[in-house]
Structure 1
Amino acid sequence: MRLTAQADYAVVLLAAAARHCGVSGRLNATVIAEETGLPLPTVQKLVSRLSAAGLIDSARGTGGGFRLARPPATITLADIVEAIEGPIGLTTCVDPASHDCAVCGTCHVRPHMGTVNGAVRSALAGITLTQLSSPAQGTHQSTTLMGPKAGVQSQPVGGWTPAFAGEQV
C-alpha cells in the first residue's frame, strides 16, 4: 500500500501548519510552499481540498490565509488520508455495494477484509498531526511514528499480531 503523492503532500503541508500552530495567525500558501519545497499550485489545491474536508479554515483576501481547524493532537493521519483519497479501502471487498471482483462469489477471504481494513485505518488513526510535526527521534522516523514509542497499540486481528520485519513475536 502506498499513499498517493497528493496525500503525502497533504501530510507535509499540515505538519508544517502544525509547527506554526499558536505561533502565527493565518499562514499563506506561498510561505508553506517555500518552507516545504512543495510547488505553490499544489499547496493551493491542497488547501482547497483540506478546507472542504474541515481540516483547515481558509479565508481569501487581505488578512486571508489558512490555519488548522482544530488542534494538531486531534487530527490523525487517517483524517488526512481520507480528506484526499476518500474512505480507506484496501480492496473492493470492504465496499458492500461493490461487485468488481471476479472471485467475489467464491472468495473465503472477503469476510475478513473488513477486519483487515479496520486494522489499517486504526493504525493510521493512532498517529496524530502532533506526532508528525515533531522532530524525529533517532534515525528511523517511520519506526518512531509506527512503533510503540508513538503510543500506537497493536491490536491482535483474529489471533494474529502484526510485527515489523525482523521482529521476534
Structure 2
Amino acid sequence: MLRMSKLADYGTVIMTAMARDPDAVHSASSIATATGVARPTVSKVLKVLTRGGVVESLRGTNGGYLLPRPPGRITLAEVIAAVDGPIGMTECSTTPGLCIQEAACAVRANWQKINRLIYEALQQVTLADMAGPALRAVDISAIRARSIPSRRAGAMPASRSTDGGHA
C-alpha cells in the first residue's frame, strides 16, 4: 500500500485547521482542541512544519504559530515534503544512485512518470481547497440504473464467470 506517514497526515490536518482562520496566531492547545489530535503530537508536528518553512513560530506571551502565506498559496505537496522529505514512490524517483539496479531497471522511467503525476496532483491542491466545504456525496443510483447499450440485457461479459473468476 502506498501512503504518506502518519505525521504528514497530521500535518495536513493541523495546517487545514490553521487555514480556516489564516490570519490568527494559533497555539498548539487550540489546534489540538480543533483537530482532536493530542497536544504533544500537535507540538511535534508544528516544530517539523516550522523547520520545513510552511509554518512560522512566534515566541513570547502572544506567541504561537501562523501560516507564512495565504492558504491558497500553500500546497499539499509542500506540507507533505516538509514532514516526510521529497515525495517519491520509489527511492530512485527522488534520489538517483540509491538502487544498485537503477542503470538497467526496465520500470524506473515509468515510476518516475507516476511520481511526477502524483506530485503535480498534490501541487494542485492547496490548504484553501482543504479548508473549504467537504465534497458532497454523489448519488450513484442514477448511474447504476442506466443500462449500457452495447450489452444485451441479462448477458454477462465473456471475461466474467458466475463463480467470480475462480476455477
Q: Could you tell me how far apart the structure 1 residues matched to 2:102 and 2:90 are?
A: 12
Partner of 1:18: 19
1:137 Cα deviation (Å)?
A: 2.5
Greater C-alpha radius of gyration: 2
Partner of 2:136: 138
Instruction: Rate the CA distance shift 1:116–1:137 in 2: closer, same or farther, 3 A.
Output: closer
Q: Could you tell me how far apart the structure 2 residues matched to 1:106 and 1:55 are?
A: 38
Partner of 2:43: 44
* Structure 1: gaps of 5 or more residues: 141-169
Partner of 1:56: 55
Partner of 1:91: 90
Q: Could you tell me how far apart the structure 2 residues matched to 1:88 and 1:106 are?
A: 23
Residues 112-131 of structure 1 mapped to structure 2, 5 A cutoff: 112-131=110-129
1:105 Cα deviation (Å)?
A: 4.7
- TM-score, structure 1 length as denominator? 0.75
Q: Could you tell me how far apart the structure 2 residues matched to 1:106 and 1:26 are?
A: 52
| Partner deviation per Cα, 1:11-40 (whole Å, 9 max, x = no partner) | 000000000113xx3110101101100000
> Residue 20 of structure 1 aligns to a residue in which SS?
coil
Partner of 1:32: 31
Letter in 1 for 2:50: S
| Partner deviation per Cα, 1:53-106 (whole Å, 9 max, x = no partner) | 111111222010011011100111100110000001111222212125xx4454
C-alpha RMSD of the superposition: 1.5
- TM-score, structure 2 length as denominator? 0.76
1:115 Cα deviation (Å)?
A: 1.6
Letter in 2 for 1:110: R
Letter in 2 for 1:59: L
Letter in 2 for 1:133: A
Give 4+ residue runs of structure 1 displaced > 2 Å after superposition: 103-107
Partner of 1:4: 5
Residues 142-157 of structure 1 mapped to structure 2, 5 A cutoff: none
Letter in 1 for 2:15: L
| Residues 25-34 or 111-120, more deviating | 111-120
> Residue 125 of structure 1 aligns to a residue in which SS?
helix
Letter in 1 for 2:32: A
